[in-house]
Structure 1
Amino acid sequence: MIRALAAAAVLAIAAPAVAQEAPAFTSLTQQFDDFATETAAMPMPERVKRFRERFNALLPGFYAPRNGATEEQYNIKVGRNLATYPAQRDKFLAAARDFSAAYVHGNAHFRRYFPDYAPVMPIYLVHSLGEMDGGTRDIDGKTVAVFGADVIAKIHDSTTIGPFLDHELFHFHHARYFSDCEAMWCALWQEGLATYVAGRMNSTEDDKTLMLTIPRPIRPEVEPKLAEAMCYARPRLDSVDPEVYASFFYGNGKSPYPPRFGYYLGYLIARKIGDGRPLDELAKMPGDQVKPLIEKALADYHCPPAA
């Protein structure tokens, strides 16, 4: 993550810890387990219908189709997750149980670097139906922070949970200072910077720790053709096409590069911009300052003229 870790350590000296409670979060994991257990013998169509009624009341707008999915496709996904839950139940409940302690520790660690951290959005721990380990969602014009205990149980362990929380808490913090936009360059900066900051906070460049190995290692496939990948990104910086976004940031994105390769490109760009700058300065950079820096970082890669 940082070419000169010794120098970075000086630049990222943590502020003294502040004795402050972690922001509260609402857990819906027990409600999910209760529902799955109580309705196990119910016919699936009725079970799915009741699930959506109950959980839409608990977290309105989250358990609904997105990214072009139909109601029928979403209901199939709900049914599939309910059907496979018994085999995953023990790991799910363990992840939900362990999250509280990890979250308190993660908040204390994060505030050593960002003492003014104070998220302005509600935070939930849920069964995400396989959608996410953590992130934000815009629902009915409001931003909500969500942790998915089901995905955390599948992909995180004691070596990654701390940096993962640093990454996600940085998103929550960054949202106070960086105005979101639909253009691809915004996501490149937001995801790349969160990955870079997590590395600085943990003095690591390890790809597994930084979640750059999901669903498979990204760096080994991108590095041999890095200039090509950066040149692929350059003309797409202003794109608002959801398919372009998916090609960079989704696990099943369609591009000439590995799934989620946008996280790696964004990380490299954030490293170019961030090395030598305090973390707090990076968190508070406005978009009109960031975009020219991204373009400058990309200009280092000599791209052929556009056809």
Structure 2
Amino acid sequence: MKRLFRPVLLPLLAAMLSASAGATEVKGLSMQVHDLATPFVQVWERNAGKPDAEFLRDFRSTIGARFPGFYDAQRFSGMFTPAQYENMIVKARAEFPSMRAAYEKKVARFTQELPGHIASFRASFPDYAAKTDIWFLHSLGEMDGGTRTLDGKTYFVFGADAMVKYHGDGDEAAFFHHELFHDYHEMECSGEPIWASLWNEGLATYVAKRMNPAANNSELLLDIPRNLVADTQKQLGRAFEDLHGKLDSDDRTAYAGLFQGRGGDDTGLPARRGYYLGYLVAEDIGKTMSMQQMAKLDCASARTAVLASVERLRKAHAASAK
């Protein structure tokens, strides 16, 4: 992969991440990093042996008050009642001892490795502004990494607990490059059609692979659920035929089957297969474009490229669908 230049590591970022309270600006960037993952350990420790109500009060005042839009049942649009959401916090407390060692190791690695991941990403995408605040926290099982829009503002969130659960102790470079690319890409198309999600996730996975050629499926998050790639390859013709008919749809069941690990659809095809299919589409388009050029496509141009690629791949794998 061609490197445009090799920037100096961001010297203030490592120091910034080590602070467990407040947020610190990085010189030359508008990004701030808020560490709420470390305070979770502290809240858990000082409430050992105390009732759940004491833990909840401490959690709310120490952690929840610093990111109230995130730790709020209301943002789930009725999926959870406030009481059910509090039960999720209590459950996270109960489960924490079994993951504590891995969690603390993940927190330390985040601190150590993020500056290098940002630097290497900017070597390939030097115009990456790193302007979206990062919130590093215990996500109560919700997410390993991604963005959340709260009250009209976008937040860049990393969940240490889900990183432990889904990533194990492997190399995190591909994961960080995937998520940093989402922050860089910022392509939002009206209506949230399937093709746009396919492009966003597939291109991020493709960039992560290009930047980390040795990354395996697990490190690329293409092994959730287990054997995702192998199971999709067995039905690749059917998978592209099904995808072809859904590209301009914004149906949430179709979306769930392609991009969520649970919920799925009634096709009999692997759940979350859209990540792998999107990767294959990006790989196909990447035969004639650099990843930098692909990242700059507007919605109309991206849609044209995606639809043409899916048609090519659908025809190429048509025989296996029979």
* Superposition TM-score tier, normalisation by shorter sequence: 0.7 to 0.9
Secondary structure at the aligned position of 2:245 is classed as helix
Separation in structure 2 between the aligned mates of residue 276 and residue 158 of structure 1, nearest angstrom: 36
Separation in structure 1 between the aligned mates of residue 246 and residue 53 of structure 2, nearest angstrom: 42
TM-score for both structures, normalised by structure 2: 0.83
Matches within 5 A, 1:51-66: 51-52=59-60, 54-65=62-73, 66=76
Q: 1:206 to 1:144 in 2, by over 3 A?
A: same
Give the equivalent residue in structure 1 for 2:4. Answer: 15
How much identity, in percent, do the aligned residues show?
35
Secondary structure at the aligned position of 2:235 is classed as helix
Aligned-residue CA RMSD (Å): 2.3
**Letter matched to residue 33 of structure 2:** F
- 253, 258, 281: which is aligned to 1:248? 258
Q: Is the 8 A contact 1:249 1:260 kept in 2?
A: yes
Unaligned 5+ runs, structure 2? 14-30
Q: 1:26 to 1:196 in 2, by over 3 A?
A: same
Q: Is the 8 A contact 2:167 2:219 kept in 1?
A: no
Matches within 5 A, 1:33-182: 33-45=41-53, 47-48=55-56, 51-52=59-60, 54-65=62-73, 66=76, 68-71=78-81, 72-156=83-167, 159-175=170-186, 178-181=187-190, 182=192
Moved over 6 A (4+): none
Q: Is the 8 A contact 2:198 2:275 kept in 1?
A: yes
Q: Is the 8 A contact 1:26 1:124 kept in 2?
A: yes
Alignment of 1:188 with 2:198, yes or no, is yes
Note the alpha carbon deviations across 1:177-204, whole angstroms, 9 max, x for none: x225422221111110000011111224
Give the equivalent residue in structure 1 for 2:282. Answer: 270
- 284, 287, 302: which is aligned to 2:296? 284
Give the equivalent residue in structure 2 for 1:6. Answer: none
For CA contacts below 8 A with separation 6 or more, give which structure has more relative contact order: 1
Q: Which moved more, 1:282-291 or 1:270-279?
A: 270-279
Secondary structure at the aligned position of 2:63 is classed as helix
- 207, 218, 222: which is aligned to 2:217? 207
Unaligned 5+ runs, structure 1? 1-11
Cα deviation, residue 49, structure 1: 5.7
Q: 1:131 to 1:299 in 2, by over 3 A?
A: same
Note the alpha carbon deviations across 1:73-130, whole angstroms, 9 max, x for none: 3232222111111221121111111111110111111111111111231111101111
**Letter matched to residue 109 of structure 1:** S
TM-score for both structures, normalised by structure 1: 0.87
Separation in structure 1 between the aligned mates of residue 257 and residue 72 of structure 2, nearest angstrom: 22
Separation in structure 1 between the aligned mates of residue 296 and residue 110 of structure 2, nearest angstrom: 28
